[in-house]
Chain A
Amino acid sequence: MNNLDVFRSRAVEEWQTLQSSPVPVIYFGTASCGRAAGAMQVMEAVRNLLAERGWQAKMVEVGCIGPCYLEPLMDIAFPGKPRLSYANMTSARAVQILTAWFEHGDFSLRFATGHFGEPQAFGANVPNFYDLPVMKAQVRVVLRNCGLIDPGSLAHYLARDGYRGLEQALAGSPEDALKTVMASGLRGRGGAGFPTAKKWELCRMAGGETRYLVCNADEGDPGAFMNRSLIEGDPHALLEGMLIAAYTIGAQHGYIYTRAEYPLAIERLYAAIAQAKEAGLLGENILGSGFGFDVTLKEGAGAFVCGEETALLASIEGRRGMPRSRPPFPAVKGLFGKPTVINNVETLATVPNIFRQGAEWYRQFGTPQNPGTKTFSLVGKVRRSGLIEAPLGATLRQIIFDIGGGTLKPFKAVQTGGPSGGCLSEKHLDMPVDYESLNAAGSIMGSGGLIVMDEDTCVVDVARYFLEFTQNESCGKCAPCRLGTARLVEILDRIVQGEGNLADLDRLESLARTVKQGSLCGLGQSAPNPVLTTLRYFREEYQAHIQEKYCPAAVCKDLYALTISDDCTGCQLCVRVCPTGAITGEKGAIQTLNRSACIQCRGCIDVCKFNAVIGIPSSRQPEKCAAVEVLL
């Protein structure tokens, strides 16, 4: 019986004690997202309540289970009952629920969102959490522990079969391990979908004694939080994946490169590393296999380009994070000149599952070319935003409408793959989400960001926003990326200000092509994607901006005026939010909007339940300076 078995048997005991607790166990989703939604205040209120009333209950912090729109989440496992989830928790409501149970034995089911027990565990009105629409279409492999276990506890991870994959891998040779990964067909989850086994094999075959494994946790896409949530919710899954990868490629040392803006993820990783060391899962002679491995955490300063693998390596080496040309590939010549495998967090966290359950099991998800599942951060104008996991090959429609619940206003576009991805239109909704299909449509998988837009979003403005982001984050090394993106932003600026002309569209296309073809690294090569895809799928919107001087989505301030249509019911909600008093009228009658007072803050659009505030072409001519006119 080795050390780990001792730890595991204790862990299972601890886990079972928790499950059969005679007092309520209260779980708080306190990942960064939960904290932002107020989970810490709720927890504080509960702690105060328990102390004040002398009630006995256990409090456990867990990671994020996914649905952002339900945050903050508080789960309670009442004695003898399965865990029951309460969503959109406030301090007052938490106090109310607990008081109701302690005083009356009432479960407050009217506030409950779902439970984690048998069907009908709480009657017909409370469904199983996994039967909620947002969860039902998901397949949770990587995220299997997120939100369920205490990420600060190695015991919880072990109790849920953690490090079984490592044991499995160590039982065979590194060659066997490589074969398993190859059989699983796992592809890199960081963006390009390079076969993981092939990358590992390249590194294994490279000469020399020293090899490095680097985990790329530098998640920089705006609106993407898959890696952060995963680390905050299940840090040991990443460590286990790294151990298996290191064993396979023969690396003695690993780095996790994450950003300093992820303080909680960093805290949980440090804790996990310390626990793993204590349990003999890191260090010399791991589990008596003779294999030794250690992990260093490197905090980056948050430059987007440091997610590019060669820039990331430069940053670890203490140099400025600037990419270099490949070849030589890092697998051959990487960190400190040694063969290095760089994998994304999700790739590595997937690996233990493949080893624990087998490659065949893994291949049941996804498609033959794109096996397995992928996490997405589903955000934007979608009803149910959050971190989700779906098998590859699921259609955009399944993801956005089945899981995400669709949009409030009519769907317009979805940006996949973050700022370097493409903007896809309604006609792509039935396209399967896999590496090849996305590339063919001019977009990329990226790390899994999905930003959904409805008709209130201007795609020209979106393209400009993403271009400005990549321009600001360009490292400045190569001319096409540094200068080309700047010129693209300038042209887009002109268009959204109503000063564009039709020749600008050709200029945008040729410049975008130059940047794509000429740039040194992936950042520049993919930066023009938002422009190219919006030009391809939403050209008429550009034309409206240029020819009609009109922004149909009522976003570009110079290109629309607001008015109130006949749909107005006179509820005067808009009157209350208007900061300049531009909207006037009788209650119950159609309101009037005074354009000269309107500052186009869009507050009225957002609050109007009847879509009665609409944008129309602005008749206003560009203003000239009066003094200049006199002179003329």
Chain B
Amino acid sequence: MSRILTLQINEHTVQVPEGKTILEAAELNGIKIPTLCAWKDLSPFGACRMCVVEVDGMRGFPAACTTPALDRMVVRTTTPQLDELRREVLALILSEHPSGCLLCGKDSDCQESMGTIRKVGVTTGCRNCPKDHQCELQDVVESLDCLEQTHALHYRMYRVEREDPFYDRDYNLCILCGRCVRVCQDVRLASTLAFLNKGRRTAIGPAFGRSHVEAGCEFCGACVSACPTGALAERARKWQGVPEKTVQTTCALCGLGCALDVHVCGGEVIGAEAAEGAHVCVKGRFALPELLNNPDRLLKPYRWVSKHRQQVGWEIALQTAVERLAACPPEGFALRMGADCTTEDLYVGQKFTRQVLHSEWVETPIGAFYGGSLETYLSLYRYVLPFEALEEADAVLAVGLDTRLNRSVVGVSLKRALENGARLFTFHPLPHNLTRHASKWFQAQPGELAALLGDLDVLQGAHKPVILLGPHYLHTDAAADIFSAIAQLAQQTGAGLLTLPAQANLLGALAVGAFPRRALPKMDWNTLYLAGAVAMPGEQAEYTIFQSFVQPPAGQPADLALPSAAFSEVDGSLVAGDGQVRLLHQVVSPPGEALPHWQIFCELAKRLGADGFNYTSAADIRAEIGIIGGKELLERASELQLPAWESTAEGEKRYPLLPLYAPGEFTYQDLPLTTWVKGLEAFLDGRGE
């Protein structure tokens, strides 16, 4: 219990807990002190000198952001001298910051005439700052009424850096507040950015003349979020203006389920950032606008009639589907669902298959992800911890993991654990980003790993060991042995386990039983129904219904295409890789005529005369499923009837689950994300997994 201190700030007597700075004490009590370099939880820096205050008994003008609040301190935040000093320092900052946006007398005329010709308008005139009206420097200038420039203006002539994907860097706009450097070093523990040079040549960038990639940049975009000016700007969001609203939801681009603040303008997603206190990776931070606003999105149902694509309304589309399904024999129907579907979608999908079509063939890519080792994977599940447990670990085994890009969020927690003194042991056949942090790197080939893990003694004496299961060994033939070895190790050492699936909702699919419970002979399908992230079938199907938020791949037309909503357009839930339920919130309405998967299934079921599909919301469905996360999921999973082994021609035993997607890291809806998000290509140049 910390002591409560009493301070006097201006005329107010305020009380704050011990250990706060003057700035925090003022903010806690609603007293505003201008500042540029203090931001959220970043450590105090004291660089911009905007927050200078007067304190009785202290010499000069201490910065409120770095000076600890003390009992009986008397602080003044606005005096003529302070305002004068702030204005003078601000004038100095503006002497090297292009400030047409503040000082130009024609600013309002300019804005009016720009609304008309959007394509060129944004780059004509002088409004070439992407953060106009979202700029903290503008706010401070306005609050201090500092609109007169007395110094000679100095343009630093830095080249605008556009060589890396996702965000542009115009350090001519930089005010060197150091927020990007601190967020990179202290929050993301990446240390890609640093202060360079000194004196008037002080700049920001990777040290020693390296490129961002060479310096280990994970493109998490934390620096972009931290930048108070337009120096760092997201390319996709650059001219989109101020967001109209921001909605928090869960990122469904992988199985970590990170909390995401999604920004909306004009009914479109324009960008996303990590929610308060959360981290995101390159995908969550930058991929959304390109992915969701892509011209390839499926907006209306269509059917394929005599070699022609015929766009139809929902009524006709549903009618077409009902006619087909009513005539389909149970053994001739299969539903394949992507693991990106919400738990509610998956539940309704399997219910639709079993109760309406009387088929057992409902499939999800569980088998593909865990190879032939679903059973052993499930046996691992009892050791799974919430992701937050990683930071507390004192010894970590990272198996087949590189945390550079789309697992950078795990990397942050891992580095935090290492900072707290944990030891790291990595298992990877190839060089990876964790080697420099590792006490030891076991360069194990897949065939050697199980034996190596069996003899491992490095976790002895660890109180909170954690095993991180990365993707590298999952798709190999040795996966089952490796899973067994890990399970054994976890049992022997009491280690917790974190599986980091690439798919958003694998565990949700498991929990609601969205897979066949008995082996069936493989056959030619009468009707194949694809929903969500699944590939077009390679095998024979008389009729294909394709239900997705994007067009089917070129050259592989579906007989009937139904537009579904993407994850940001629905309410629902996911079961993340740590077994915890994460909620999705609708950020924008689905574009065109797209509907959530579950709603389409319900419409079809009702038209096929089935009962029990009268849900009005995802919450209705969730109520029917019951609780499916955490321990309950484990209980449920242990009750699952796993499908029987099936002998293949080669004599191997495999689960009768089809590889519904090709293993890869940058996929969504089964297609490589790079199809839509061009910047991710850069990572595939030998840098991705």
B88 at the interface (CB under 8 A from A): yes
Q: By the criterion CB–CB under 8 Å, are B154 and A480 in contact? A: no
Q: Which stretch in A43-51, A320-328, A359-367, A613-621 binds the other chain? A: A320-328
CA distance A563 to B526 in the complex (A): 108
Most buried by B among A303, A328, A483, A520: A483
Q: By the criterion CB–CB under 8 Å, are B150 and A484 in contact? A: no
Q: Which residues of A contact B197 (CB under 8 A)?
A: 476
Q: By the criterion CB–CB under 8 Å, are B200 and A486 in contact? A: yes
Q: By the criterion CB–CB under 8 Å, are A487 and B195 in contact? A: no
Given A518-B85, A520-B63, decide whether A479 and B47 contact each other with a Cβ distance below 8 A.
yes
Interface bits A504-535 vs B (CB < 8 Å: 1, else 0): 00010011001001111000010000000000
Residues 327-352 of A contacting B (Cβ, < 8 Å): 327-328
A370 at the interface (CB under 8 A from B): no
Interface bits A458-501 vs B (CB < 8 Å: 1, else 0): 00000000000001111111111011111100100000000000
A305 at the interface (CB under 8 A from B): yes
Residues 18-58 of B contacting A (Cβ, < 8 Å): 44-49, 52
Q: By the criterion CB–CB under 8 Å, are B176 and A320 in contact? A: no
CA distance A322 to B96 in the complex (A): 21
Q: By the criterion CB–CB under 8 Å, are B67 and A510 in contact? A: no
A303: nearest residue on chain B (CB-CB)? B198
Q: Which residues of B contact A483 (CB under 8 A)?
A: 92-93, 95-96, 200
Q: By the criterion CB–CB under 8 Å, are B61 and A471 in contact? A: no
Q: By the criterion CB–CB under 8 Å, are A476 and B202 in contact? A: yes
Interface bits B76-117 vs A (CB < 8 Å: 1, else 0): 000000000100110011011000000000000000000000
Min CB distance A402 to B, Å, is 36
One of B68, B151, B154, B176 near A327 (C-beta < 8 A): B68
Q: By the criterion CB–CB under 8 Å, are A518 and B89 in contact? A: yes
Residues 172-207 of B contacting A (Cβ, < 8 Å): 175-176, 178, 194-195, 197-202
Q: By the criterion CB–CB under 8 Å, are B176 and A482 in contact? A: yes
One of A320, A471, A472 near B195 (C-beta < 8 A): A320
Q: Which residues of A contact B66 (CB under 8 A)?
A: 324-325
Q: By the criterion CB–CB under 8 Å, are A487 and B199 in contact? A: no
Q: By the criterion CB–CB under 8 Å, are B61 and A518 in contact? A: yes
Residues 515-541 of B contacting A (Cβ, < 8 Å): none
Q: By the criterion CB–CB under 8 Å, are A328 and B68 in contact? A: yes
Q: By the criterion CB–CB under 8 Å, are A479 and B68 in contact? A: no
One of B150, B151, B199 near A476 (C-beta < 8 A): B199
Most buried by A among B60, B89, B92, B93: B92
Q: Which residues of A contact B199 (CB under 8 A)?
A: 471-474, 476, 482, 485-486
Min CB distance A436 to B, Å, is 15
Q: Which residues of B contact A320 (CB under 8 A)?
A: 194-195
Q: By the criterion CB–CB under 8 Å, are A476 and B195 in contact? A: yes
CA distance A325 to B47 in the complex (A): 9
Q: Which residues of A contact B200 (CB under 8 A)?
A: 471-472, 474, 476, 482-483, 485-486
Min CB distance A357 to B, Å, is 35
CA distance A320 to B194 in the complex (A): 9
Q: By the criterion CB–CB under 8 Å, are A484 and B178 in contact? A: no
CA distance A327 to B44 in the complex (A): 12
B152 at the interface (CB under 8 A from A): yes
Given A325-B44, A476-B195, A483-B93, decide whether A518 and B178 contact each other with a Cβ distance below 8 A.
no
Interface bits A293-334 vs B (CB < 8 Å: 1, else 0): 000000000010100000000000000101011011000000
A470: nearest residue on chain B (CB-CB)? B199
One of A327, A482, A510, A519 near B202 (C-beta < 8 A): A482
CA distance A485 to B95 in the complex (A): 12
Min CB distance B191 to A, Å, is 10
Q: Which residues of A contact B152 (CB under 8 A)?
A: 487, 490
Q: Which residues of B contact A485 (CB under 8 A)?
A: 199-200
Q: By the criterion CB–CB under 8 Å, are A322 and B195 in contact? A: yes
Q: By the criterion CB–CB under 8 Å, are A514 and B89 in contact? A: yes
CA distance A325 to B52 in the complex (A): 12
B332 at the interface (CB under 8 A from A): no
Q: By the criterion CB–CB under 8 Å, are B202 and A325 in contact? A: no
CA distance A475 to B68 in the complex (A): 24
Q: By the criterion CB–CB under 8 Å, are A520 and B47 in contact? A: yes
Min CB distance A261 to B, Å, is 16
Most buried by B among A322, A471, A475, A487: A487
One of B88, B154, B195 near A486 (C-beta < 8 A): B154
B62 at the interface (CB under 8 A from A): yes
CA distance A416 to B85 in the complex (A): 28
Q: Which residues of B contact A327 (CB under 8 A)?
A: 67-68
B43: nearest residue on chain A (CB-CB)? A324
Q: Which residues of A contact B49 (CB under 8 A)?
A: 478-480, 518-520
A471: nearest residue on chain B (CB-CB)? B199
B68: nearest residue on chain A (CB-CB)? A327
Given A324-B46, A507-B150, decide whether A477 and B178 contact each other with a Cβ distance below 8 A.
yes
CA distance A186 to B444 in the complex (A): 63
Q: Which residues of A contact B85 (CB under 8 A)?
A: 514, 517-518
Min CB distance A495 to B, Å, is 14
Q: By the criterion CB–CB under 8 Å, are A518 and B88 in contact? A: yes
CA distance A525 to B52 in the complex (A): 14
CA distance A478 to B92 in the complex (A): 11
Given A471-B199, A474-B199, decide whether A517 and B44 contact each other with a Cβ distance below 8 A.
no
Q: Which residues of A contact B62 (CB under 8 A)?
A: 325
Min CB distance A516 to B, Å, is 9
CA distance A234 to B96 in the complex (A): 48
A487: nearest residue on chain B (CB-CB)? B151
Q: Which residues of A contact B60 (CB under 8 A)?
A: 517, 525
CA distance A325 to B55 in the complex (A): 15
One of B44, B92, B198 near A487 (C-beta < 8 A): B92
CA distance A479 to B85 in the complex (A): 12
A327: nearest residue on chain B (CB-CB)? B68
Q: Which residues of A contact B92 (CB under 8 A)?
A: 479-480, 483-484, 487, 514
Q: Which residues of A contact B47 (CB under 8 A)?
A: 477-479, 520
CA distance A324 to B21 in the complex (A): 14
Q: By the criterion CB–CB under 8 Å, are B150 and A479 in contact? A: no
A477: nearest residue on chain B (CB-CB)? B47
Q: By the criterion CB–CB under 8 Å, are B46 and A325 in contact? A: yes
Q: Which residues of A contact B44 (CB under 8 A)?
A: 325
Residues 197-245 of B contacting A (Cβ, < 8 Å): 197-202
B93: nearest residue on chain A (CB-CB)? A479
CA distance A478 to B63 in the complex (A): 11
CA distance A477 to B95 in the complex (A): 16
CA distance A518 to B89 in the complex (A): 7
Q: By the criterion CB–CB under 8 Å, are B46 and A478 in contact? A: yes
CA distance A184 to B387 in the complex (A): 60
Given A324-B46, A520-B46, decide whether A480 and B89 contact each other with a Cβ distance below 8 A.
yes
Min CB distance B155 to A, Å, is 13
Min CB distance A610 to B, Å, is 43
Min CB distance A202 to B, Å, is 16
B150: nearest residue on chain A (CB-CB)? A507
Min CB distance A390 to B, Å, is 29
Q: Which residues of B contact A510 (CB under 8 A)?
A: 88
Min CB distance B95 to A, Å, is 6
Min CB distance A324 to B, Å, is 7
CA distance A451 to B49 in the complex (A): 33
One of A472, A480, A507, A519 near B198 (C-beta < 8 A): A472
17 A-B contacts, Cβ less than 8 Å apart?
Answer: A324-B46, A325-B63, A476-B201, A477-B47, A477-B178, A479-B89, A479-B93, A480-B49, A482-B199, A486-B200, A487-B151, A487-B152, A511-B88, A518-B49, A518-B61, A518-B88, A520-B47
Closest 5 CB pairs of A and B: A476-B202, A325-B66, A483-B92, A514-B88, A325-B46
State the B residues within 8 Å of A (CB). 44-49, 52, 60-63, 66-68, 85, 88-89, 92-93, 95-96, 150-152, 154, 175-176, 178, 194-195, 197-202
* Further contacts, 17 of them, CB under 8 A, given A303-B198, A517-B60, A517-B85: A320-B194, A324-B66, A325-B66, A327-B67, A471-B199, A471-B200, A472-B200, A474-B198, A474-B200, A474-B202, A477-B178, A478-B48, A479-B48, A479-B175, A482-B202, A487-B95, A520-B49
